[in-house]
Chains A and B, each alone.
Chain A
Amino acid sequence: MTDLTLRRVIKRYGDEQVVHGIDLDIREREFVVFVGPSGCGKSTLLRMIAGLEPISGGDVHIGDTRVNDVPAGKRGVAMVFQNYALYPHMTVRENMSFGLRNVNTPKTEIRQRVDEAAAILRIEPLLERRPKDMSGGQRQRVAIGRAIVRKPKVFLFDEPLSNLDAKLRVQMRIELARLHRQLKATMIYVTHDQVEAMTLADRMVVLRDGRIEQSGPPADLYESPCNLFVAGFLGSPSMNFLPATVTDHDADGVWVDLAAGGRLHVPRDGSGLSPGETVTVGLRPEHVRPADEGTLAGSLEVVEHLGDQTLLHIRLGEDSVVIARDEGRSAHTAGENIQLAFSGSTCHLFDGDGNACPILSRDAAIT
């Protein structure tokens, strides 16, 4: 059963269209993360599902019901906001029970549901406190608790961890994953933080300028991005892009000359490419390593020691910098000349329009 369906959903503000015909099926109990840069329309899409933003075109179905004209409170969704949005003058218990009181739920049931949610989130000692007497993490727990007590069909999270410090963010991320397993609920989560997206999502939806660029399991998107945008957006540090020219292609892949020097065989389907065509080779930092003899050579500009790994920023030419990831504490120092080695089989290839060339099964080698 599909729990939530978006069909050609459009959003316009005056003459400006910000969401362009989104089609999406979200299965029951799925944890879907909308991810994308600021202004890509991910929050607008979430707010349209919530009913906080009118839909300019298309349909939103929750279960079997078309909810375009159903008021937000009646859609059976609950939302957790970035700034918690707790009622400051109410205690935690009052905050959590407010929604239930509005639909005349019996007092005993309200108490029971609040106590249950508080136990799940381990916030029982906070029930009589007011929001101002709590930390950011505690407030966010209460905000989630307020959503849980309503037993919604769909949970919506709008960048809920953005206001927390880094350590708390990691903690809450784990809590949310645990909560998803425990509640077995459908969850839609908006974030611009790709680490959150990668770690939480069953399925990631990458948006740009109000359109879905790609959707699928996080690992699939990371390993097989459909275009330059998705490839560049996912991964930290981002994928390295090297301009290249197609010299030949055969059944085993595509031969390219890198603008920074070197010839490379990439096992990708190059049937749509012709010799002389400009393409982009994509290379993840973890697949590039310093070597005594490599394909590329450059000057080491910056060395970032991160403890378990070191990031090396190598300048290849005027406009070209490659980031390589070295395990542990790298012995290389800024200023030295360095050679880089990588396998063509780990490379991605994008045509002149930025679309990825499909992968071929066989390996290839650097020449």
Chain B
Amino acid sequence: MSNESTNRRPDTGRIVTLVVLTVAAFLWLVPMLWVLAMSLKPNEVLMHTTAGLLPVPFTLDNFIQIFDTAKVTRWFLNSVGVAVLMTSITLVLSSLGGYALARIPFRGARFMLIFIIAGLTVPEQAVFIPLDTMFASWHMNNTIIALVTPRLAVPFGVFLMMQFFKAVPKELEEAAILDNASRLTIFFKVMLPLARPALTTLGIFTFLYSWNDYLWPLVSATQENHYTITTGLASLQGNFAQSEGLGFLMATAVFASAPVLIVYLIFQRYIVRGIAMSSGK
């Protein structure tokens, strides 16, 4: 009896933690709610005041205007193209590379692994100028190839997939060998289906990284119709006077964030697992 009553007693420490976390989460959320509220208010109201987290008076004009503005839709589609292409190719390259390093003994495998991992230590900004010079000399700036190609070398992806394939019991592959499966059959029909959780994690991270990428598109895509949504929005914000007003700007920000938010909500479980995997837990 006494135990039960002890268990039912509210845990003060737990309540304090919950309150602190709730307040912190709300404070973190305020700027986003503010952006959302402004995107749903008319520009005329926003010229008087931007205060308030509730969209009163309410309007969808700013969002409708996005679809009337060809360049925003174009930037959005550019971003979709770059993100989808980059994610797909990264998944193919990382899984092939990871599998080879994990399971196929070949001369120089260890050096290759160190070489790939060393890629993690090179800051991306350090290679922007040579990359830009290279693509410029090939007259390839302002192309989707220039936007995607430099981002396909993903040491983290190869490492993640290698770790995953290493963890798959060797007997599974040996059973497939005895089942007359070729190396490619083993890869595509046994290993790859098993790697779905790791591939999903890597895919989400790559997609989010690509979608949020700003610096390289800023360097590589100099013509307005080749902007991605991040560089496009930045250009609008930089030319606020030429834009369609604050409400429109906020609506484009919400519009640009939507895919990221949707991806996160759908694959939340894999993202949390991926962070745990990459931290070695």
Interface, chain A (partner B; CB < 8 A):
50-52, 71-74, 77-79, 81-83, 85-89, 98-99, 102-103, 146, 150
Are A85 and B171 within 8 A (Cβ)?
Answer: yes
Given contacts A72-B178, A102-B180, contact A81 B193 (CB under 8 A): no
Across the interface, which residues of A come within 8 angstroms of B196, CB to CB? 89
Of chain B, the residue at the smallest CB distance from A73 is B180
B257 within 8 A of A: no
Are A99 and B178 closer than 8 Å at their CB atoms? yes
Binary contact readout B171-207 vs A (1 if CB under 8 angstroms, 0 otherwise): 1101111111110010001100110100000000000
Chain A nearest CB, measured from B165 CB (Å): 14
Whether B194 pairs with A89 at a CB distance below 8 angstroms is yes
Residues of B within 8 A of A (CB): 169, 171-172, 174-182, 185, 189-190, 193-194, 196
With A83-B169, A88-B194 as contacts: A73 and B181 at CB distance below 8 Å = yes
A77 partner residues in chain B, CB cutoff 8 A: 178
Of the A-B pairs whose beta carbons lie under 8 Å apart in the complex, a sample of 24, sorted by A's number, is A52-B174, A52-B177, A73-B177, A73-B178, A77-B178, A79-B174, A79-B175, A81-B171, A81-B175, A82-B171, A83-B169, A85-B169, A85-B171, A85-B175, A86-B175, A87-B175, A87-B190, A89-B194, A98-B181, A99-B178, A99-B181, A102-B179, A102-B182, A146-B175
- Closest A residue, CB atoms, query B173: A85
- The CA-CA distance from A71 to B186 in the complex, in Å, is 15
- CB of B5, distance to nearest CB on chain A (Å): 42
Q: Which of B185, B189, B193 has the most CB of A within 10 A?
A: B189
Q: How far is the CA of A12 from the CA of B194 in the complex (A)?
A: 33
CB neighbours of B179 from chain A (8 A): 73, 98-99, 102, 146, 150
Alpha-carbon distance A83/B175, docked complex (angstroms): 11
Asked if B177 contacts A98 (CB within 8 A), the reply is no
- Cβ contacts under 8 Å, B178 to chain A: 50-52, 72-73, 77-79, 99
Besides A81-B171, A89-B193, 7 other A-B contacts (C-beta < 8 A): A52-B177, A71-B177, A73-B178, A73-B179, A73-B180, A85-B174, A85-B175
B193 nearest CB neighbor, chain A only: A89
Report Cα–Cα, A83/B170, bound state, in Å.
10
- Complex interface: chain A residues within 8 A of B169 (CB): 83, 85
Which B residue sits closest to A150, measured CB to CB? B179
Complex alpha-carbon distance, A79 and B180, angstroms: 12
8 closest A-B pairs by CB: A99-B179, A73-B180, A85-B171, A85-B175, A102-B180, A89-B193, A81-B171, A72-B177
Chain A residues within an 8 Å CB radius of B172: 85, 87
Q: Complex formed: what's the CA distance from A86 to B11 in Å?
A: 47
Check A98 against B176 for contact (C-beta < 8 Å).
yes
Q: How far in angstroms is the closest Cβ of chain A from B173? A: 9
| Distance A79 CA – B194 CA, assembled complex (angstroms) | 22
In the assembled complex, how far is the CB of residue A214 from the closest CB belonging to chain B, in whole angstroms? 30
B177 contact set on A, CB distance < 8 A: 51-52, 71-73
Please measure, in the bound complex, the distance between the C-alpha atom of A89 and the C-alpha atom of B188, giving whole angstroms: 12
A30 to chain B, nearest CB (A): 21
- Chain B residues contacting A71 (CB-CB under 8 Å) are 177
Are B171's CB and A102's CB within 8 A? no
CA of A77 to CA of B194 in the docked complex: distance in angstroms? 26
